[in-house]
Chain A
């Protein structure tokens, strides 16, 4: 087990409102987990909590996040700093925020290595060039001499992925790594990222709103809704027999499946007060007992949080 997140609870500092209500999932070495859900479901928050980057807006109030057996949530800042960027790589949503605008691209890649271990500059430069080229950046040596603002958005994102991979991490967390880019470019970057994770047997967490990314690039999936994981399991099983109504809807409205004109509503607000199943205002199966918290149904690898879930049923 590479990463084992158990019952992670986070609340907003301002009003003590729960933001993550017990998130659990696992990442196995060499496998890629897709963490999928809508805007505001708590996907990025989950990543921030694991990496110790919540402050000041939110704080962890419970749970564990075991990385190779060590609890990241109880680790000192100094120890976490040693892990982040070295054994755990992180790709954030907007790449430009990651890059230091006043340092040339090559120097940033080299610094990312030398922070974590002593390295001869020539070797570092060679490694930086290699990793940039493996992310599909043409003429990497020339790009290394450039400033971040001189790069196209797609190159920025490629550099950010290269930065996350450069220290050969065991685990890579990528938060919407291609959001906002052109579709043909998205595909190029995801293909290369996927290839690097496989080649180096890196465990991956890809955070996305797009179930297509999960279908095409991930081994396992955790579906989040309103601060909880509502379903998880191997991609093949979950797509073949989705057990939670939200997962079923997400699959049904993928563009290659969607038949419009039904006039039914898929989106909508969350319940105003806590308690019960958060999905019930949008659920066409909702019944009286959904006013109570749904149990986690399932055994082994495939599980769903729903009163009506039947795992393995067609």
Chain B
């Protein structure tokens, strides 16, 4: 399987001068063609920084970013631009990222105009074909962002990103503002694109947002990957205490699970609150003294999973559900 996007020990810092804080710490991650990687984390965990890192939209402080096997860590923006039609991004909040003066058609057509030599007739046909696939009606193509509901607008946002048929598609919380039905439609579309061989990275606030299409899931907490593995494995047997808590916070249709969950104290921290030791220790229900001094690094567990928790290696990281 060909690796399309890759981060190697990438660290990213954000903010001005003295108030610079670590947004991502030593992230190792890759996405292959025809695969979907789901990145899950609460606000401040570093989801957006990670999404942007794949496309070199942020410059890492340390580590390397690779696209289709070539190192683009130090590639100047002028040369990166040539790659921008093959690695694209769906930014968060379609209501503000789309130019309000352009029609949906012009917005979707724009990348073709910038990156390809297509003539206007050809571009028009390409947009029409894509719109049909997105189930955007012809009348909707002639409307501007202000005249479209958020569900429809997000389709335009995604349409822009896939019209050039990229090899790598990164979506930052694409289903956040959508109704359940529109979110399911979008996930179906991503599944289709995956079948077509696209490599996809999508972020989400909770596991539910990425679970239906993600082949692998990475859980972020305070800029570090606390657990990463195949979706089925994580859903069946989450090993990191934070992953377990996130999973138990799923408000599932299952009435028998009512009220049984892991309750975390406090709120998701910001990088400024980072304490020594394991970043999750202050909220972890099973933290021990050693968790507050030694920071765990992601350890390989079994053949296909990485978990950053001291207790995992001893097999004592599972938390019983309480009512």
12 extra interface residue pairs, beta carbon distance < 8 Å, beyond A216-B258, A255-B207: A184-B245, A191-B263, A210-B180, A211-B180, A212-B252, A212-B253, A235-B255, A253-B183, A253-B184, A256-B250, A257-B253, A262-B188
Q: B206 in the interface, Cβ–Cβ < 8 Å?
A: yes
B42–A184 contact, CB under 8 A?
yes
Q: Complex: how many Å from CA A249 to CA B179?
A: 12
Once the chains bind, are A267 and B182 in contact (CB under 8 Å)? yes
Question: How many angstroms between the C-alpha atoms of A120 and B181 in the bound complex?
Answer: 51
What is the total of A-B residue contacts with beta carbons within 8 Å? 125
A300 close to B (CB within 8 Å): no
Residue contact A267 to B179, C-beta cutoff 8 Å: yes
Min CB distance, A257 to chain B, in Å? 6
**Within the assembled complex, what's the spacing in Å between the Cα atoms of A263 and B134?**
11
Task: Specify which of A185, A191, A212, A236 is in contact with B250 (CB 8 Å cutoff).
Answer: A212
Query: Chain A nearest CB: distance from B304 CB in Å?
Result: 22
B residues adjacent to A (C-beta < 8 A): 42-43, 135, 137, 149-151, 178-185, 187-188, 190-192, 195, 205-209, 211-213, 245-246, 249-255, 258-259, 261, 263-264, 267-268
Interface residues of A in 232-267 (CB under 8 A from B): 235-236, 239, 249-251, 253-267
Q: Which residue of B lies closest to A259 (CB)?
A: B212
A43, chain B: closest CB distance, angstroms: 12
Q: Contacting A251 at CB < 8 Å: which of B185, B245, B253?
A: B253
For B207, the closest partner residue in chain A by CB is A255
Q: A188-B263, A249-B181, A266-B184 are in contact. Are A215 and B250 (CB under 8 A)?
A: no
The answer to whether A216 touches B259, judged by C-beta atoms less than 8 angstroms apart, is yes
Given A215-B253, A215-B254, A268-B135, verify A260-B180 contact (CB < 8 Å): no
Q: Does A1 have its Cβ within 8 Å of any Cβ on chain B?
A: no
**A81 interface residue per 8 A CB criterion:** no
With contacts A182-B43, A215-B252 taken as known, whether A255 is within 8 angstroms of B208 at the C-beta atoms is yes
Contact yes or no, A254 B267, CB < 8 A: no
- In the bound assembly, the distance between CA atoms of A262 and B192 in angstroms comes to 9
| Cα of A212 to Cα of B253 in the assembled complex, Å | 6
B179 near A183: Cβ-Cβ < 8 Å: no
Which of A185, A260, A265 interacts with B191 by CB under 8 Å?
A260
Residue pair A182, B184 in contact (C-beta under 8 Å): no
Is A274's beta carbon under 8 Å from chain B?
A: no
Considering only CB atoms, which chain B residue lies closest to A209 in the complex? B179
Instruction: Tell me which residues across on chain B come within 8 A of A255, comparing CB atoms.
Output: 207-209, 211-212, 250, 252
CB-based contact A264/B188 at 8 Å: yes
Asked whether, in the complex, the Cβ of B180 is within 8 Å of the Cβ of A184, the reply is no
Nearest-neighbour CB distance to chain B for A137, whole angstroms, equals 11
Q: What chain A residues lie within 8 Å of B178 (beta carbons)?
A: 267
* Contact A183-B187, Cβ < 8 Å, known A209-B180, A215-B251: no
| B42 and A182 contact, CB distance less than 8 A | yes
Contacts of B211 in A (CB 8 A): 255
Residues of B within 8 A of A184 (CB): 42, 245-246, 249, 264, 267-268
- Shortest Cβ-Cβ A-B pairs, 10 listed: A212-B251, A255-B208, A266-B181, A267-B181, A267-B182, A182-B42, A38-B179, A253-B184, A183-B206, A254-B253
Bound: A261/B187 CA distance, A: 8
| Chain B residue nearest to A41 in the complex (CB) | B179
Answer whether A256 and B180 are a contact pair too, CB < 8 Å, given A39-B150, A183-B246, A266-B185: no
Chain B residues, CB < 8 A from A215: 251-255, 258
A residues less than 8 Å from B42 (CB atoms): 182-184
Residue from the list B179, B207, B213, B261 in contact with A187, Cβ < 8 A: B261
* Complex-state Cα separation, A266 to B187, whole angstroms: 11
Q: Mark A192-231, 1 if CB is under 8 A from B, else 0.
A: 0000000000000000011111011000000000000000
A-B CB contact pairs (8 Å), 19 listed: A40-B149, A182-B42, A182-B267, A184-B264, A185-B268, A187-B249, A187-B261, A211-B253, A215-B251, A236-B255, A253-B180, A254-B252, A254-B253, A255-B250, A259-B212, A262-B188, A265-B135, A267-B185, A268-B135
Name the residue of chain B whose CB is nearest to the CB of A185. Answer: B267
Check: A6 CB closer than 8 A to any chain B CB: no
Determine whether the beta carbon of A182 is less than 8 Å from that of B205.
yes
A269 within 8 A of B: yes
B187 with A260: CB separation less than 8 A: yes
A134 interface residue, CB < 8 Å from B?
A: no
Collect the chain B residues with CB atoms within 8 Å of residue A216's CB: 251-252, 258-259
Task: Determine the distance from Cα of A253 to Cα of B209 in the docked complex, in whole angstroms.
Answer: 12
A268 to B43 alpha-carbon distance, docked (Å): 30
**Given the complex of chains A and B, what is the CA–CA distance between A185 and B178 in angstroms?**
20
Q: Which residues of B sit under 8 angstroms from A40, Cβ to Cβ?
A: 149
Q: Which of A152, A182, A213, A253 sits near B181, CB closer than 8 Å? A: A253
From B179, B205, B209, contact of A39 by CB (8 A): B179
Q: Kindly state the separation between the CA atoms of A210 and B249 in the bound complex, as whole angstroms.
A: 13
CB-CB < 8 A to B245: which residues of A?
Answer: 184
